[in-house]
Every structure is written in C-alpha cells, then in structure tokens.
Structure 1
Amino acid sequence: MDLRQLRYFIAVARERNFTRASEQLHIAQPPLSRQIQLLEEELGVSLLIRHSRPVQMTEAGRLFYEQAMQVLGRVEQMQAATRRVGLNQRSVLSIGFVASTLYGGLPTLMRKLREHAPELDIQVVELMSVQQIQALKEGRIDIGFGRVRHSDPNVTGIVLREERLAVALPMGSPMAHTSMPLPPTELDGQKLIVYPKEPRPSFADQVLSTLNGHGVQLGEVLEVREIQTALGLVAAEFGVCVIPSSARQMRRDVHYRLLDSDRATSPVIFNHRVNDNSKYLVLVKQLIEEMYAERPSWLDAHNLPTTAEGLNDGNGQEPEHTVKRKRPRRTAKP
C-alpha cells in the first residue's frame, strides 16, 4: 500500500465514478482500476461496489476512506511543516488532543503560546488518549491532552483537573424537565450512547465504570466513534449520553444535567515525554500555571479540585516539575 493508492481511492470515492476520477488524476482508467483492485487484494476486502451507478463504498470502504483522509492530511501537514522549518528555521510544537478538551482550556493555552512565542509553528493533531502515548514515544507529537490515565514509564502524565460529568438528554425526556443535578441511579434502564468506539481504553470505559460504580443498571449501550455523533443521536431521541461538562455548549437541541456525584468526573491529563526539558515545554507548563491561577469561568463552572495541591501525574504521584495553583495570601487577624 502506498500514498498513491490512497489518493486514487479517495478520488474514486469522492467522484463516485472511475471515468471522472481518472480525468481528475490525469491517468487512464485501466491503471486506476488496477491500483484500486491491488489495494483491495492487499486488504482482503472489497472497498467499492462497482456494479452500482454511481459507484458506492462498502462499509469497509467508508471506514478506509475516513482513515485514508486522516493519513493524507497528516502527510500534508508533515510536508508543510518540514518546508517551513527548512526554509524559515521555525520551531515546531505538535500538540495532540482529544476533541472535548477544545471546550476547556486548550484554546486559551494556544493563544497564550502564540503571544509568548510568535516564532513557534503550532501544529494540532486530534488523537484519542491512548494514541497520544504512542505518538509521543514516536516523536509524532510533542505534548498531548487526553483523558485516560496510563502507566507508560516513558511518558509523564499530569492531571490538570477533574472535570464534572454531565448527561445529555433528549428534549422530550421526562428527565429534561429540570436542570438540577441528576442522581446517577435515575439512568437505570436507559439506552446509553458512549464514545469513542475505539481504540480502547477510552472515555467510554470511564463512563461505564462510573455508572457501574454507582450501581446503575443500563438498558442497552450503543458505541459510536465521536462525541458529535453521540450528541446527534441524543437529539434524535436514540438514547442519553454522558459527556464532560465543558462540552455542554456543543449542541442546543439537547438538555444537559450534571451528574449528582463527586465521583462522576473525568480527568484532563497533560502528557509529555519523560526527561524532555525543551524551552517550549517549560513555557507550556508556565502558561498552564498562569491560566489556572487566573481561575477562568470554565474552570470554576465545570470542575472539581484535584486530589492533591497542584497538579498530579497519571499515577496519583506529584511529578518533579509540577504546576502549583496559587493560593490567596492570608491576612493576619487583628
């Protein structure tokens, strides 16, 4: 399998026609068809339904299309970043993130980074939490923001905060008649939508473990790939979904209630390579410290204090370089 075959397949999938795809790619149709056939033979599955008009993708084809788009997008980012660094001597900081962190402090952190290091070329890559660990070890990203604790000795994981969990409910649900915190046991018998479907372990496992720990007996569990799909299904009254509380701003056609339990939380974890002492990592830690010291509204509204003063690593132990939250200065009593 090579990048050329990925581009060929994407062109056919988009055009839904071999003739138009060959014209777009400036190659003859027979070699295009042959390359797609070789790709299918290597994978051992059919990607396209050729006898339909227009050409349609199989289920495997749809999955392959999504993944191929991500691969080519990443390759293009790599090429562009390499040219910028080579031609302009710019430094690059690649940040991995899970989608839900975009509704908390990550955008603020990136703005602060651009202000303090305008020479820095910031690249962002959406990766699931477990994918970030491997990407860090392989050097594909420099830092990551995820939600799953890990025990990898090569990666330091610092818990920035414990974020409250909320339940997204269909507007017509009897539970949507109030905005009071929802006792977890009220989800007994409900059809639950969880994400991501894979890779695991993931936020989905955190949700299932939390509800199980509260003795909730679910009706059915539907697994989907991403939070946007999950909330869309909630709006369509397919079930309910537990999400980080900061993500409640994603859709306005569903009703949200916080889960009424101090144990119903999900960590936001800052990951980086062990023994990485680069100046930009030091800067990131400094900016995170400043950001939390400012006590932004999203922090007070959606989160619980961490279990120890400051920030903890993924194993509950304070790392060597920890970010301390500033306490207000005490005044002496008269």
Structure 2
Amino acid sequence: MDLRQMRYFTTVVQQKNFSKAAQLLHVSQPSLSNAISKLEKEVGFPLLERNTRSLHLTDSGKIMYERALELLNKFDHLTKEMKEVKQTGSGHLSLGLIESAKHWMPKVIHHFKGDFPNIKIQLLELLGVEQVQQSLLNYETHAAITNQMVTHRDLLAYPIYNERLVLLVHFQNELSQRPTITMKDLEREPFIISTSGFQTRKDILHAFDKEQASPNIMYEIERFETACSLVEEGLGVTIIPENYIKYSTFPSIRPRYIQSEALQRTVYLAHSKNRYLPPFIHSFLNHTTNFLKSENS
C-alpha cells in the first residue's frame, strides 16, 4: 500500500467513474483498475461495489477513503512545508484579511518589502470564523487577520489591537451636529447593516439590545464600502469599525462616537500551531504587530 494507490483510490471515489478518474490521473483505465484491485487484495477486503451503472463504497471502503484523505492531506501539507523550508529571501505569503484591515495593510507591506522585495503576497478576504479556520487548516493561508476569536485546538490566535465601532452620518443629517448621540437616537434613522452571519452585525445588534433600542434596518450589505457609499448619498446611517473609515475618504460623511461599551471589538492574528512558517513570514507577522503598536500607542 502506497500513496499512489491512495490517490488512485480517492480519485475513483470522487469521480464515481473509472474512466473519468483515469483521465484526471493521466493513466490508462486498465492500469487504474489493476491498481485498485491490487489495493483490495493487499487490505484483504473489497473497497468498491461495482455494477454497470454505478460505483459505491463498501462499509470498509468508507473507512479506507476517510483515512486515505487524511494521509494525502498530510502528505500535501508536508510537501508545501518542505518547499517553504528552502525559502528564506524569496517565496510566497498568503494572508487572510477582514475588510477593515485592507486599508492599513498596504503600509505594513511597504515596510516588509524593504527587507524582502522578492516575496509574492496574496491577500484573501475571509469573512467568517469557519472560513478563517478552514483556510489555515488547509494551508491556503499562512496567517489571518480576524475580528472573531479562533478557538480550534490546532490554531493559535492572539489580540493585536482593539478598536471602536463608529457611527457614520451624512454631514447634512442633524445627528452630525449633536454633542452626544445614543443608540435610541438611531431608531428613526434608515439603518445600514451587514447581512446575517457577520460578526460586526452581531456586535451592533448587541449594542442596540443593551440600550433597549431597535434599529430601523433598511439596507443590508456585505462590504463596508457599500455602506459608506449609501451614507455618502444621504440614504441612511451605519456603524462600522474605526480603522476602516480612518483610512478612507468620503467627503460627505461625518464619523461620530456613541458612548457604548458594546461598540468595540478586538482584532486577532491567527495561524497554525503546527505548520512550519519560514523566517520571512515570521518577519511579516512582526512587521504587522509593530506597526499596529505604533499606530495605537
């Protein structure tokens, strides 16, 4: 039993067809069939139920398939790690981001590129904790900036900064002139909020609940940029992370602070506990934390 047989077997299961699997694997169909038959002889029991129309796993085959996938994933991860071990001054860095980080991240990259000019960087927007965890566990990203605490046993997450959630209003809105604003003051305003599933939405609704107020939700969006554009046109008000509007330019928008302990959040940096990270990635993480310390000091 070897990795080649495992890859053949899992591909056949996924394609549910020997002919399609053979094409993907670039082998002849007879060779693929012989390899699976040999694997079944080695393990001592049938893995697949075959007929003229379909192909199904046996009960024993289901166990073999799950274990084979685990082995192949670990082997693929090992291959990536060994490539990264060789990389010191050149290579590839993949980073997951929340939307509000994309405005300050270029400043971090600018400093980092002074030390590692040849590193290729991929920035991926990750919106939920499940997406963050899967990207790290599957080695799709080296690290992730997230506003949700990651608690998976194989991942490490630590806080890198705290930020307030701020109210955005059009400069002609009478709220822009008020000395103080409460959540109750927003009840009659057309409110713009993230769609269900976003942590920012949960934080904002929690703040309304604490003040026994209810938002008049008129618009649901996925990106802060869209929320800002709606406020810019005078269509409503919104609450977004301070770091997003801090680096953005919307001439008609006025940010206002609401006195509410609930309108704040912690942003974390997360990465795998077990994955080997080349020196240049550790350097990038250090550049990130040092930049944020200087910005928030």
Greater relative contact order (Cα 8 A, min sep 6): structure 1 or 2?
2
Equivalent position of 1:231 in the other structure: 228
Give the match's secondary structure for 2:169.
strand
> 1:183 corresponds to which letter in structure 2?
T
The answer to whether the 8 Å contact 2:207/2:260 transfers is: no
> 1:210 corresponds to which letter in structure 2?
A
Correspondence 1:209 to 2:206: yes
Aligned equivalents of 1:181, 1:136: Cα separation in 2: 42
Aligned equivalents of 1:238, 1:182: Cα separation in 2: 19
> 2:233 corresponds to which letter in structure 1?
A
Equivalent position of 1:95 in the other structure: 95
> 2:189 corresponds to which letter in structure 1?
Q
Change (3 A) 1:187 1:112: same
Give how far 1:181 is off: 5.5
> 2:208 corresponds to which letter in structure 1?
L
Give how far 1:292 is off: 4.1
Aligned equivalents of 2:151, 2:221: Cα separation in 1: 26
Equivalent position of 1:175 in the other structure: 175
The answer to whether the 8 Å contact 1:188/1:216 transfers is: yes
TM-score, length-scaled by structure 2: 0.62
Aligned equivalents of 1:215, 1:159: Cα separation in 2: 30
Structure label with greater radius of gyration: 2
> 1:140 corresponds to which letter in structure 2?
E
Give how far 1:156 is off: 1.7
Give the match's secondary structure for 2:149.
coil
The answer to whether the 8 Å contact 1:164/1:259 transfers is: no
Report Cα offsets for 1:278-306 as digits up to 9, x if no partner: 2234223432343244x23xx25xxxxxx
Give the match's secondary structure for 1:128.
coil
> 1:158 corresponds to which letter in structure 2?
Y
Larger mean Cα displacement after TM superposition, 235-244 or 160-169: 235-244
Aligned equivalents of 2:238, 2:190: Cα separation in 1: 9
Give the match's secondary structure for 1:149.
coil
How many residues are aligned here?
Answer: 207
Equivalent position of 2:286 in the other structure: 286
Trace 1:81-230 onto structure 2 (pairs within 5 A).
90-104=90-104, 106-130=105-129, 131-178=131-178, 180=179, 182-195=181-194, 197=195, 200-230=197-227
Give how far 1:261 is off: 2.7
Output the aligned Cα RMSD: 2.6
Larger mean Cα displacement after TM superposition, 160-169 or 206-215: 206-215
Report Cα offsets for 1:72-130 as digits up to 9, x if no partner: xxxxxxxxxxxxx9xxx9411101112211234x2222122212222322111222143
The answer to whether the 8 Å contact 1:129/1:145 transfers is: no
Give how far 1:277 is off: 4.5
The answer to whether the 8 Å contact 2:182/2:258 transfers is: yes
Report Cα offsets for 1:214-242 as digits up to 9, x if no partner: 32222235311211111112223332110
Give how far 1:201 is off: 4.0
Structure 1: state its 5+ residue gaps.
1-84, 301-334
Report Cα offsets for 1:193-213 as digits up to 9, x if no partner: 112x26x24322222222322
Aligned equivalents of 1:252, 1:129: Cα separation in 2: 30
Aligned equivalents of 1:154, 1:189: Cα separation in 2: 46
TM-score, length-scaled by structure 1: 0.56
Change (3 A) 1:99 1:292: closer
Aligned equivalents of 1:99, 1:143: Cα separation in 2: 15
Identity of aligned pairs, percent?
17
Change (3 A) 1:172 1:289: closer
Structure 2: state its 5+ residue gaps.
1-83
